[in-house]
Amino acid sequence: MRVTVQSRAGHYFVDIAPGLLDGLGEDPASAGLSGRVAVVTDANVRPLWGERVRGALGRAGVETVLLEIPPGEGSKTLARADALWTGLIESGFGRADTVLALGGGVVGDLAGFVSATFHRGMRLVQAPTTLLAQVDSSIGGKVAIDHRLGKNLIGAFHPPARVMADVSTLRTLPARERWNGLAEVVKTALVLDSELFSELETALPALGAGQMDDAGWLGVVGRTAALKGRLVSEDELERGPRTLLNFGHTVGHALEAATGHGPLTHGEAVVLGMRAALAVSRRLGRLDAGEERRALSVLEHFPVPRSVPRPDRVEVRAALGRDKKAAAGHIRYVVLEGLGHGVVEPALSEELIGYAIDRALEAL
């Protein structure tokens, strides 16, 4: 399956199929690769897919250098970016070469940020290996590192030359990572596609349990990626409809920051944020009680995160105010006007902000 995404730099393709990584060496140029290739991956992905990708490219005569980072959100730092810049400089990489981001959202964000800034921008190919990265973070060109005061505050828009989403990699995902990605699938359905949401009401338990073959994952990833690709093509710089994809992220990002970027996965934080957003949607009269119950029933399938320090309400509010979605002191907040129909509240009242935070903390 192929999704076409429009960007300021021209269009690029998101290819979704099993076996794409093993086939990289068959025609590297068609995969967006040029020059020498810096394969950026983490210590979890390297033994599963890193050496296979290097082997495939090596057989095609492509020179590769592997740059490894520790797994987890804690790697999205300026120090890790500096280590990657140093690796690129010491290995003699230039603007005509390619960074291949092989891994989940952390690898994609960090490698993308390094690619966007090295020599003022070099070619980037995203090869996402997690569900979350395949349906969300690898598409759209947003790349970033975290600051101690907030998530993704230091970044750029740097569209990839290609996204290669090999659904075969989803077979190796641990359960927590499957649910992490499914949070973004549910989010996308809630704001954009009521039919997909209805299907998830039945299919979500089997998806979370990993009871899905490559063809099944191709359908899930392909549909969700196509929805995101459509919004990105309409609004690459997130000044209009793309903002809808922040449903659940306003409070979710604040919880990630307030708990120290690590105890909560991104998806777990977004589920808490979606619970808050559903409560606000109902409070505003935008969502009826039956629709709220249906959405909450789906979110009940997500495992409750364990051993997470409960942040103080004041800490969460402070983190929320530093988020990118805060503008001129106002908090933009995505709510639902029905299942599959998200809208943006341009300035949520302070009372409703507190209400949202309280609902998320109650569920933690």
The pLDDT value given to residue 201: 97
Contact 102, 41 (CB under 8 A): yes
Write down the catalytic residue from 228, 275, 325, 359. Answer: 228
CATH placement of domain 2-172: 3.40.50.1970
**Which tens digits make up the pLDDT trace of 153-174?**
999 999 999 999 999 999 989 9
Write down the catalytic residue from 8, 90, 120, 350. Answer: 120
**Top-level CATH class of 183-211+223-363?**
mainly alpha
Write down the catalytic residue from 253, 261, 275, 324. Answer: 253
Write down the catalytic residue from 184, 236, 268, 345. Answer: 184
The pLDDT value given to residue 271: 98
pLDDT-above-70 percentage for the chain: 98
Write down the catalytic residue from 142, 158, 178, 223. Answer: 142
Q: How far is CA 56 from the centre of its chain?
A: 27
pLDDT, mean of each 10-residue run, the chain (364 residues): 94 97 92 96 96 94 97 95 98 97 97 98 98 97 92 94 97 94 98 97 96 94 98 93 96 93 92 98 97 98 90 92 69 96 95 96 92
Write down the catalytic residue from 68, 73, 177, 238. Answer: 238
Write down the catalytic residue from 36, 266, 324, 325. Answer: 266
Q: Is 76 a catalytic residue?
A: no
| Amino acid type, 249 | H
| Whole-angstrom distance, CA of residue 196 vs CA of residue 36 | 41
SS3 assignment, position 281: helix
Write down the catalytic residue from 80, 151, 242, 359. Answer: 242
Write down the catalytic residue from 36, 76, 158, 249. Answer: 249
SS3 assignment, position 185: helix
Q: Is 253 a catalytic residue?
A: yes
**Which tens digits make up the pLDDT trace of 213-249?**
999 999 999 999 999 999 999 999 999 999 999 999 9
Write down the catalytic residue from 44, 152, 180, 246. Answer: 246
| Whole-angstrom distance, CA of residue 236 vs CA of residue 15 | 19
Q: Is 44 a catalytic residue?
A: no
Identify which of 1, 2, 3, 11 has the alpha carbon closest to the alpha carbon of residue 236. Answer: 11
Sheet of strand 162-166: strand arrangement = 2-7, 10-17, 162-166, 123-128, 98-103, 37-42, 64-69
Rounded to two decimals, the pTM is: 0.94
Domain edges within the chain = 2-172, 183-211+223-363
Per DSSP, helices labelled H in the chain are 51-59, 78-90, 105-117, 131-132, 175-192, 194-208, 214-234, 249-258, 266-283, 289-299, 313-321, 350-363
Q: Which residues contact 176 (CB under 8 A, 6 or more apart)?
A: 265, 303
Q: Is 147 a catalytic residue?
A: no
The pLDDT value given to residue 167: 97
Q: The tokens of 158 are what? A: 């740097």
Residues in the chain: 364
Q: Which residues contact 205 (CB under 8 A, 6 or more apart)?
A: 301
SS3 assignment, position 308: coil
